[in-house]
Each structure stands twice: as structure tokens, then as C-alpha cells.
């Protein structure tokens, strides 16, 4: 079932390719002038698809990128493998094509050859160093998606010969992403680089592949749960499309926007795997409830804040009253003290005057006594 699903998804990708600008005869090959200006990379892919090695060589001499990929990440080598064009496969590899370059879904050329059952191409790629343990977005190696008995035997023998640990290979990407996520969380700085073609981020990859621990760490590190790739896909789009229920739950619990649309107006519900649509709808109900509870908690807080402000105003007013009343009390007290001081001074003067009179009387008596003696 897993192999059939992988092949079906590959067929869907190939259908998107048919009729695209890369599935056209290059105007250079036809030697005809045209008003349509094709992208240089698209011209190169079309020339390779036509099988004209002389024209391809000319384009390479003019600076064409032999590893140029279309919107789905398919290179000329991928396409030559899909087309069972052994001569073009050999030509591209001999001229420096990256034999292990993955497309947007993690398929290297050997995946394509294995899926299609092209034994000659697979043997050539392996002989040139293709990774038999390469894992695509579904967690499948070329051996996992091989359906022809001869292909399975070829790949299994090579896996045994190289001593490849398939299970370890499946977990390698997740292990590396876990390491990076922990570093970003500890440093407080996310040092991620978007995919050159798709604009996908580490959060998109973790969501699409169901790397739940990586997903949690990235969100803790500060990743925006609504970040979009170049097609407008959010991590929820990716998780829903690939049927990763737990990844969807984590994103929803972290209040991702479930109604965000991509460049063609699709929500996560529109691109979701049919098997998880019901679960996605349940998650939406749960999130709506969370939003509702959040609003209810916010309302009493606002009311409480208003009451606090009112009480503070009353306190301030009372303090102002105190500041006004206290000076009045102080002024009254000062006047009272000043009056007491005046009274004391007057009383002191009276005492001095009384003492002076008594002294004068004593002096007069003494004078009279002395006069009598004389």
C-alpha cells in the first residue's frame, strides 16, 4: 500500500509537469523566432527532454545550469530517468549533473528509476555513486518503492554490499533537525534557510514529515506557525496534505490560523488528505472553543483593570484632599503657636516691669533709712 501511494503521488507530480513550460519543444531547437520568452532553465530542460545532446551541450557552453530544477524540483536528470532515456542520463552525469539531487518531495533520480522499473538506468546510477539509502519525504528509500522483482533484488544486494542501515537512514534527517532545533532554542536565534525553489522552512518539513518533537522545539524557539512558503502554503497545509494528524494537532494547539489560503486560494482543508478531513474539522471546533475561552478570560481582566484604575483615582483624589487640608491645619497651628509666643513675650515684659518696681521700692526704703540715721 505504501509503495502504491508513493507511486501515485509521483504520477500526480508528473501530470503537473505535462503541459508545463518544461514540457515544450525549445524554440532554439526549432530555429523559429517566437514572441514568447522562455526561462533559460526551462529551455534547457526542454532541450534535454527532446534528447538533442548537441543542443544541450551548446546551452551548457552558454552557461546553462545542468542542475536547474522546475517548480517541482525536477532536474533534467530526473526527467531523463522518468523518460527511460539512458543516453541522456549518461550524458548529463558525465557532464556534471548531481546524481543525488532531491526534488521537492525528496526523490533522487534513483527513486525515479526504481519506481519506473528501469533496471539499466538504476545500475548506471548506482555505479556512479547514487545513494541507495536516500529517503524521500514519505520516508521511502528506492528499495521501498521498487515493484519489479529484478529491481528489488538489485537494490537489496547493493544495500547489503554497502552495509546501509535503512532504519538509521530513515531517521537521519529527523536526527539532524532535532539537533538544529535544540541549538536554535538554546541560543535564542533561528538560523534556518528557506528551500531555494519552494521557500519551505524547517517548520514546513517537520510538519510534512510528522517530526513532532522537532515541530514542538521549533515553535518553542519562536517560529511563526503561520509562515508561508513561496506557494503560500503554511505548515498546516503541509501537515494536512501529508496526513500527519499529530503535527496538525500541535499546530492547532499553538493557535495557527486554520483559514489561511495559499496562492490559489486553498485552505488546509482543501489540500488535506481525505483520511484526516474529519479530524481536521474536530481540531477546528477545539480551536474555536479555545478562542472563545480566551475572550471570556480577557473580559473580566479588562473590568478588573478598570476598577483598579477607578480605585487608584479615588486614592489619588483623597491624597490630594489630604495635601490641601494638611497645609490648612499646619497654617492654623502656626498662627496658634505665634500667638502663644506673643502672649509669652508680653507676660515676660509684665514680670520684668513688676520686678523693676519692687527693686525701686526697696531702693527708696533703704534711702529713707539712711536719711533717718543721719
In angstroms, the CA 165 to CA 175 distance is 15
pLDDT value of residue 105: 85
In angstroms, the CA 164 to CA 182 distance is 27
Q: Where in the chain is the domain with CATH 1.25.40.20?
A: 40-164, 168-295
The alpha-carbon radius of gyration of the chain (Å, integer) is 45
pLDDT value of residue 40: 76
In angstroms, the CA 269 to CA 236 distance is 9
pLDDT value of residue 290: 82
CATH number 1.25.40.20 given to 168-295: yes
In angstroms, the CA 127 to CA 129 distance is 6
Query: What's the DSSP call for residue 106?
Result: S
Q: Is 75 in a helix, a strand, or coil?
A: strand
Beta bridge partners of residue 196, listed in sequence order = none
Which among 106, 124, 151 is positioned nearest to 6, based on CA atoms?
106
In angstroms, the CA 346 to CA 169 distance is 110
C-alpha torsion sign, points 95, 100, 105, 107: positive
pLDDT value of residue 347: 63
Beta bridge partners of residue 157, listed in sequence order = none
Q: Is 18 in a helix, a strand, or coil?
A: coil
Task: Identify the helix (H) or strand (E) that includes residue 32.
Answer: none
Query: What's the DSSP call for residue 131?
Result: -
Tell me how far CA of residue 34 lies from CA of 27, 28, 62, 139, in angstroms: 7, 10, 20, 44
Question: Which CATH code for domain 40-164?
Answer: 1.25.40.20
pLDDT in 10s for each residue of the chain, 374 residues: 444 555 565 566 555 544 444 444 444 444 454 454 556 788 999 999 988 899 999 999 999 999 999 888 899 999 999 999 999 999 999 999 999 999 988 899 999 999 999 999 999 999 999 999 999 988 899 999 999 999 999 999 999 999 999 898 888 889 999 999 999 999 999 989 898 778 899 999 999 999 999 999 999 999 999 999 999 999 999 999 999 999 999 999 999 999 999 999 999 999 999 999 999 999 999 998 888 877 777 665 555 555 555 555 554 444 444 443 444 444 455 455 556 655 666 665 555 555 455 545 445 544 444 444 33
Q: Is 69 in a helix, a strand, or coil?
A: strand
CA quadruple 369, 370, 373, 374: dihedral, nearest 10: -140
In angstroms, the CA 153 to CA 159 distance is 10
pTM: 0.61
pLDDT value of residue 26: 46
Amino acid at each position: 500500500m505504501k509503495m502504491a501511494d508513493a507511486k501515485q503521488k509521483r504520477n500526480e507530480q508528473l501530470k503537473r509537469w505535462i503541459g508545463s513550460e518544461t514540457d515544450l519543444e525549445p524554440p532554439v531547437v526549432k530555429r523559429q523566432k517566437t514572441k514568447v520568452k522562455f526561462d533559460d532553465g526551462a529551455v534547457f530542460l526542454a532541450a534535454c527532454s527532446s534528447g538533442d545532446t548537441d543542443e544541450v551541450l551548446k546551452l551548457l557552453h552558454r552557461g546553462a545550469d545542468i542542475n536547474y530544477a522546475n517548480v517541482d524540483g525536477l532536474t533534467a536528470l530526473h526527467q531523463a530517468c522518468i523518460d527511460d532515456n539512458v543516453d541522456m542520463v549518461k550524458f548529463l552525469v558525465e557532464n556534471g549533473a548531481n546524481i543525488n539531487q532531491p526534488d521537492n518531495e525528496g526523490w533522487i533520480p534513483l527513486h525515479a528509476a526504481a519506481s519506473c522499473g528501469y533496471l539499466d538506468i538504476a545500475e548506471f546510477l548506482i555505479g556512479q555513486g547514487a545513494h541507495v539509502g536516500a529517503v524521500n519525504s514519505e520516508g521511502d528509500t528506492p528499495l521501498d518503492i521498487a515493484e519489479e522483482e529484478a529491481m528489488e533484488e538489485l537494490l537489496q544486494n547493493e544495500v547489503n554490499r554497502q552495509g546501509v542501515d535503512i532504519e538509521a537512514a530513515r531517521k537521519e534527517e529527523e536526527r539532524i533537525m532535532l539537533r538544529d532545533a535544540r541549538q536554535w532554542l538554546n541560543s535564542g536565534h533561528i538560523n534556518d534557510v528557506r528551500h531555494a525553489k519552494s521557500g519551505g522552512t524547517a517548520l514546513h518539513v517537520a510538519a510534512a514529515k510528522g517530526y513532532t518533537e522537532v515541530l514542538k522545539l521549533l515553535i518553542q524557539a519562536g517560529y511563526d506557525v503561520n509562515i508561508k512558503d513561496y506557494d503560500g502554503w503554511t505548515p498546516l497545509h503541509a501537515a494536512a496534505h501529508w496526513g500527519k494528524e499529530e503535527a496538525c494537532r500541535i499546530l492547532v494547539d499553538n493557535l495557527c490560523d486554520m483559514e489561511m489560503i495559499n496562492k490559489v486560494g486553498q485552505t488546509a482543508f482543501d489540500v488535506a488528505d481525505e483520511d484526516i478531513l474529519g479530524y481536521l474539522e474536530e481540531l477546528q471546533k477545539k480551536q474555536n472553543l479555545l478562542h472563545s475561552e480566551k475572550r471570556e478570560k480577557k473580559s473580566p481582566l479588562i473590568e478588573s483593570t478598570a476598577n483598579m484604575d477607578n480605585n487608584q483615582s479615588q486614592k489619588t483624589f483623597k491624597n490630594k484632599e489630604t495635601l490641601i487640608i494638611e497645609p490648612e491645619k499646619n497654617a492654623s497651628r502656626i498662627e496658634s503657636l505665634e500667638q502663644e509666643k506673643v502672649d509669652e513675650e508680653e507676660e515676660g515684659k509684665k514680670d520684668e516691669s513688676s520686678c523693676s518696681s519692687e527693686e525701686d521700692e526697696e531702693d527708696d526704703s533703704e534711702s529713707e533709712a539712711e536719711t533717718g540715721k543721719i
